[in-house]
Amino acid sequence: MHGETAVVTGASRGIGAAVVREFADAGAHVVACARDADGLDDLAAAVEPTDGAVTTQRADVRDEFDVERLMEAAAREGGGIDIVVANAGVYHGPAGETSLASESYAAFDDHLRTNGRGTFTTIREALPHLSPHARLLVTSGGVAREAKPGYGSYAVSKATAEAIARGFAADLDHSVSVVDPGVVATELTGGTGRDPADVAPMFRWAATDAPADDLDGGVLDLKAWKRGTR
């Protein structure tokens, strides 16, 4: 990843922060964004990349003008964007305890705006700055494809994000794919699941060595990652 520029949204904690560290250690210049400016400062102070670099910029994926400025800044610094990880997401309520039947309209709207529209905004605003070989990755989970009780409009928003990824994959020459790392221990899951650092290499493989044509428009899950990296 030496010399490549990557943009990671939702980077102040959890999967996003782990992916920033993974990419920077591999030599990439990572532009990390989140709504939490203090979290970004903590991330920048904690990351000690081997050969890469980390730049932080506060941005809210719900605001297309924020994201436009983010992508312009990343392109200026790197001469183009090689990797985009649309990772920003929210979950209102305890994981697995938010029935769709009792979901508030406010939670429904913000799930869709952040997890769905935010994915659309991230990819769309990156388009003018992508390098010819750029890859775009969308973080998701199994609840987007297989309904489970208690995941309400969060699951709906993730299904929306995956549909957006498939739509862009059909429209673009660039590879656009979904990465499903399974249940990961983050605030969204209440701390249950794998350590984010354990799944960050999955994103690195998807961004570099995985066959782009195989990923395009599809879902890379843990089984596919393990098969591809034996």
Q: Give pLDDT tens digits for 128-153.
A: 999 999 999 999 999 999 989 999 99
Would the pLDDT of 189 be above 70?
A: no
- Of the pLDDT bands very low, low, confident and very high (cuts 50, 70, 90), residue 211 is very high
Token reading at 141? 């989970």
- Of the pLDDT bands very low, low, confident and very high (cuts 50, 70, 90), residue 95 is confident
Number of structural domains, the chain?
Answer: 1
For the stretch 16-64, pLDDT in tens is 999 999 999 999 999 999 998 888 988 888 887 677 789 999 999 999 9
Q: Which of 91, 105, 151, 154 is catalytic?
A: 154
CB contact burial 193-226 (16+ within 10 A = b; e otherwise): bbebeebbebbbbbbbebebeebbbbbbbeebbe
What does the pLDDT read at residue 184? Answer: 86
What does the pLDDT read at residue 66? Answer: 96
For the stretch 101-120, pLDDT in tens is 999 999 999 999 999 999 99
State the Cα–Cα distance between residues 186 and 205, nearest whole angstrom. 21
* CATH classification at residue 213: 3.40.50.720
Would the pLDDT of 192 be above 70?
A: yes
Mean pLDDT of the chain: 93
**Domain enclosing residue 25, as ranges:** 5-228
- Of the pLDDT bands very low, low, confident and very high (cuts 50, 70, 90), residue 190 is low
Would the pLDDT of 2 be above 80?
A: yes
State the Cα–Cα distance between residues 177 and 168, nearest whole angstrom. 9
Active site residue 91: no
State the Cα–Cα distance between residues 45 and 50, nearest whole angstrom. 14
CB contact burial 104-122 (16+ within 10 A = b; e otherwise): eeebbebbbbbbbbbbbbb
- Of the pLDDT bands very low, low, confident and very high (cuts 50, 70, 90), residue 186 is confident
Across 160-186, average pLDDT: 94
